[in-house]
């Protein structure tokens, strides 16, 4: 066995790549009924045709008749692959699949979403029209001003109502990919494919593991449309930045070299020890720059980390951003999150009637470092600060606590992900 130098079944392999790309196009068009149906049909047809093309290239595979007969038996025993065959036949002969869409409507205003309704809707009904039915609900003024109406769609086939359609197609891709990996094996090669993050088709090849690709995971995030409660306009995804160039990394390392002096990175995988380090480092960044950009640090099981710079303009964008961050926690398997951000602090009695600390005249600036872990541990570090006449930062004493009053309700989407993971036993 050796890595694939050339593809022994190039047309079949290319058809599998096309199905992968079409799956992502279907995913991206989830809130758009017309676009979803068009891409769904194309993905089903591409997946179903993989075995047709394989049979045309059968001469490249030693012992094809006996080998393929065994695979045909396996495919016939897979209920979702049988559904794929029937679905393609219906598309070819009768038109679009009979599908329906459920919609869960809720309001984001910090903390748990406020459930409004759950209903079966016409698949061709756009989310904005669904949301329009609920914009006139009697709500407190601060929720109407800052809230986000959230419509979560789920597409299902009428003849398979218990399974989400994209998840079915990802399963079928995984079965067919396993079939092609086995075909390459018979030809003496290890099958390779486009790199997992190369959805634009860049010809970077790596070994293809059997089964669905890691990027073909269906999450609630892809099924959600969000509407600005006050204006009624759709909200675009908020911005999370992960990629940094080598030049940016080098410049940052040199800029904060002095800030790191005397700080020892945590030597163990202890989550709280890491949080203490990041709190001290954040204070030094604040005094160096005069500000600290909002930052999320995702901690993995193997103690590796992801850094995300968070960019938002208003309260609605924060709600959207934290749901997206929770989705990233879900996909990456992160077991801890540290949020670093500047904020305002006010006394509890000054926050009655839905007031934000930023609206209180006597508010104080603070550097907040909030650390939460999947196992329930948490620690908040609160550092009040002021600016002197020269504009320089003057830090006050840092307080640390695991009392829930110091933690932002914006972390609730991440906690929901971990609770769901625990219930599933993963």
Asked if residue 42 has pLDDT above 90, the reply is yes
Q: What pTM was estimated for this model as a whole?
A: 0.62
Asked if residue 248 has pLDDT above 70, the reply is no
Per-residue confidence at 346, pLDDT binned at 50, 70, 90?
Answer: confident
Domain borders along the chain are 2-97+163-215, 236-424
Asked if residue 204 has pLDDT above 50, the reply is no
pLDDT digits (tens, 9 = 90+) for 95-151: 777 776 777 888 887 767 788 887 777 666 777 777 777 777 888 877 888 788 888
User: Exposed (0-12), middle (13-18) or buried (19+): which is 398, by Cβ within 10 Å?
Assistant: middle
Residue 236 in tokens: 């675009």
Q: What integer pLDDT is reported at residue 195 of this predicted model?
A: 44
Per-residue confidence at 198, pLDDT binned at 50, 70, 90?
Answer: very low
Residue 142 in tokens: 């601060």
Over residues 234-242, the mean pLDDT reads 68
Asked if residue 210 has pLDDT above 70, the reply is no
Of 295, 355, 345, which is closest to residue 321 (Cα–Cα)?
295
Sign of dihedral through CA atoms 202, 203, 205, 210? positive
**Quick count: other Cβ atoms within 10 Å of Cβ 366?**
20
Q: Which residues have CB under 8 Å from 96's CB, separation 6+?
A: 37, 41
Higher confidence at residue 19 or residue 271? 19
Higher confidence at residue 230 or residue 181? 181
Q: What integer pLDDT is reported at residue 422 of this predicted model?
A: 77
User: At CA 99, angle to CA 94 and CA 104, rounded to 5?
Assistant: 170
């Amino acid at each position: 066995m050796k890595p694939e130098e050339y593809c022994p079944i190039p047309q079949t392999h290319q058809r599998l790549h096309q199905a992968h790309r079409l799956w992502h196009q279907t995913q991206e068009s989830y809130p758009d009924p017309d676009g979803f149906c068009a891409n769904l049909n194309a993905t089903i047809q591409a997946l179903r045709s993989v075995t047709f093309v394989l049979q045309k290239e059968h001469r490249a595979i030693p012992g094809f008749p006996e080998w393929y007969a065994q695979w045909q038996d396996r495919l016939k025993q897979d209920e979702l692959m049988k559904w794929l065959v029937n679905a393609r036949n219906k598309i070819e002969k009768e038109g679009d699949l009979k599908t329906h869409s459920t919609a869960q409507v809720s309001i984001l205003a910090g903390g748990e979403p406020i459930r409004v309704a759950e209903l079966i809707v016409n698949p061709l009904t756009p989310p904005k029209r669904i949301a329009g039915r609920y914009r006139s609900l009697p709500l407190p003024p601060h929720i109407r001003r800052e809230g986000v109406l959230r419509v979560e769609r789920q597409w299902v086939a009428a003849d398979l109502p218990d399974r989400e359609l994209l998840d079915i197609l990802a399963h079928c891709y995984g079965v067919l990919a396993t079939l092609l990996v086995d075909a390459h094996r018979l030809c003496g090669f290890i099958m390779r494919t486009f790199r997992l993050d190369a959805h634009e088709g860049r010809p970077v090849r790596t070994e293809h593991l059997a089964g669905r690709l890691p990027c073909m995971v269906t999450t609630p995030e892809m099924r959600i449309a969000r509407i600005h409660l006050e204006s009624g306009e759709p909200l675009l995804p908020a911005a999370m930045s992960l990629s940094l160039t080598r030049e940016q990394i080098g410049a940052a390392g040199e800029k904060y070299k002095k800030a790191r002096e005397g700080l020892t990175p945590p030597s163990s995988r202890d989550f709280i020890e890491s949080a203490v380090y990041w709190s001290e480092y954040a204070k030094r960044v604040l005094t160096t720059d005069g500000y600290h950009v909002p930052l999320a640090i995702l901690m993995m099981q193997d103690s590796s980390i992801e850094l995300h710079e968070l960019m938002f303009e208003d309260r609605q964008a924060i709600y959207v951003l934290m749901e997206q961050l929770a989705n990233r926690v879900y996909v990456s398997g992160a077991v801890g999150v540290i949020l670093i951000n500047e904020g305002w602090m006010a006394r509890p009695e000054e926050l009655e009637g839905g007031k934000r600390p930023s609206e209180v005249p006597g508010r104080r600036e603070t550097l907040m470092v909030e650390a939460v872990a999947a196992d329930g541990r948490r620690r908040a570090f609160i550092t009040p600060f002021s600016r002197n006449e020269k504009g320089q930062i003057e830090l006050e004493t840092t307080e640390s606590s695991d009392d829930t009053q110091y933690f932002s309700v914006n972390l609730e989407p991440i906690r929901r992900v971990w609770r769901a993971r625990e219930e599933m036993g993963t």
